């Protein structure tokens, strides 16, 4: 758009009274699949970005924060992980990061909507460029819950749930049944990382707490860690870390991870541990001792 009289805005309503808008330099592609609507846009600040059912998924500017934090935290907790399952993640960013570990033997990626991956291969080589060239990567275009149901026990050392919010096609990935199946197909060393929503706006808080309660019913060790990503609602997002025996802070393998020699833009050995230190209101939301949402007047009870 060179016309100074015209702006094309992509706008996500972060909640009923909050709008986040990006000036679009060029709408690139838009289609409706059996699963969802997919859109690609170009912008100045964020480079290229894509949305599913209108919700922001990946921008070129800040995808590294999400993909670093979903992969390197478990890999630095158990550097012997060899068999990885990615549920969702059709943009390829998560498998790109995991495939940087030369010792990983196989990565199964289960994406319900093949068109997401095809379009990311066409429009987002930054995240999807490795897919066609990576022999360890095995693609499965089916429902994630169905896929894990049909796998034998202890098939994987790591499951990364790289999903949308628990609405539409991502909903089954936030159920107790799904977490139970994940537990079963994980080895005794197994770790599950899942997209754990955000502690700021009411919708995300509600889903965060629901997902957290369900995972705690299934896994003996459950921790939550945070990262910043400005293009997701509030910019303050969480991953869940669930495992059968490893604690991500107690069992943090600093030297072994540093020996991999990976250059990362967000993750490092300090933030690995720092990210598990959550603000008090987040701890209280996760523990379920506070009201459903962050109170508007947090100080009224205790300021003298």
Q: Does 141 bind a second copy (CB under 8 A)?
A: no
All residues at 6 or more sequence positions from 28 whose CB lies less than 8 Å from its CB, including other chains: 40, 41, 42, 48, 123
Q: Does 214 bind a second copy (CB under 8 A)?
A: no
Q: Which of 162, 188, 247, 301 is catalytic?
A: 162
Shortest reach from residue 304's CB to a second copy, in Å:
7
Q: Does 105 bind a second copy (CB under 8 A)?
A: no
Contact indicator for 130, 95 with CB cutoff of 8 Å:
yes
Among 201, 219, 239, 246, contact with a second copy (rule: CB under 8 A): 201
Among 35, 40, 46, 178, contact with a second copy (rule: CB under 8 A): 46
Q: Does 179 bind a second copy (CB under 8 A)?
A: no
Among 40, 123, 246, 267, contact with a second copy (rule: CB under 8 A): 267
Footprint of a second copy on residues 272-301 (CB under 8 A)? 273-281, 283, 294, 296-301
- 134 burial type by CB count under 10 A (0-12 exposed, 13-18 middle, 19+ buried): middle
Q: How far apart are the first and last CA of the chain?
A: 55
- Show the binding pattern over residues 229-248: x = contacts a second copy (CB under 8 A), - = does not: -x---xxx------------
The tally of CA atoms less than 13 A away on the side-chain side of residue 215 is 28
Q: Is 153 a catalytic residue?
A: no
Residues 33-47, buried b or exposed e (16+ Cβ, 10 A)?
Answer: eebbebbbbebeebb
Shortest reach from residue 157's CB to a second copy, in Å:
22
266/276 Cα distance (integer angstroms):
15
Q: What is the DSSP string of 137-191?
A: EEEE-S-HHHHHHTSPTT-EEEEEEE---SSGGGGGGGSHHHHHHHHHHEEEEEE
Residue number, 20 or 141, with CB nearest to a second copy = 20
Contact indicator for 136, 100 with CB cutoff of 8 Å:
no
Shortest reach from residue 257's CB to a second copy, in Å:
13
The residue ranges that bind a second copy (CB under 8 A) are: 9, 15-23, 43-47, 60-62, 64-65, 96, 100, 126, 129-130, 200-201, 226-228, 230, 234-236, 263-268, 270-271, 273-281, 283, 294, 296-304
Residues annotated as catalytic are 162
State the binding site for S-methyl-5'-thioadenosine.
36, 111, 143-144
State the binding site for spermidine.
67, 91, 162-165
């Amino acid at each position: 758009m060179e016309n100074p009289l015209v702006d094309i805005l992509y706008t996500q309503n972060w909640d009923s009274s909050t709008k986040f808008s990006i000036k679009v330099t060029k709408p690139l592609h838009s289609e409706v699949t059996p699963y969802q609507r997919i859109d690609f846009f170009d912008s100045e600040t964020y480079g290229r970005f894509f949305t599913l059912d209108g919700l922001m998924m990946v921008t070129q500017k800040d995808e590294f924060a999400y993909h670093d934090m979903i992969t390197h935290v478990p890999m630095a907790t158990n550097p012997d992980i060899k068999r990885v399952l990615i549920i969702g993640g059709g943009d390829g960013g998560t498998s790109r990061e995991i495939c940087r570990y030369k010792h990983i033997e196989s990565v199964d990626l289960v994406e319900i909507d093949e068109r997401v991956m095809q379009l990311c291969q066409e429009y987002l080589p930054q995240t999807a460029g490795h897919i066609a060239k990576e022999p360890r990567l095995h693609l499965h275009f089916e429902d994630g819950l169905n896929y894990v149901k049909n796998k034998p026990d202890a098939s994987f050392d790591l499951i990364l749930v790289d999903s949308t919010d628990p609405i539409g096609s991502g909903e089954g990935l936030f159920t107790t049944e799904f977490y139970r199946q994940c537990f079963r197909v994980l080895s005794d060393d197994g770790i599950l990382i899942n997209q754990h929503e955000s502690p700021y706006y009411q919708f995300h808080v509600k889903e965060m707490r629901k997902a957290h309660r369900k995972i705690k019913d299934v896994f003996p060790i459950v921790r939550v860690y945070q990262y910043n990503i400005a293009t997701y609602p509030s910019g303050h997002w969480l991953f869940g870390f669930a495992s059968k025996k490893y604690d991500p802070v107690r069992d943090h393998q600093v030297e072994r991870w540093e020996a991999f020699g990976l250059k990362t833009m967000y993750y490092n050995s300090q933030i690995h541990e720092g990210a598990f230190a959550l603000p008090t209101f987040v701890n209280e939301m996760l523990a379920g001792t506070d009201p459903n949402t962050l109170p508007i007047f947090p100080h009224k009870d205790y300021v003298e």
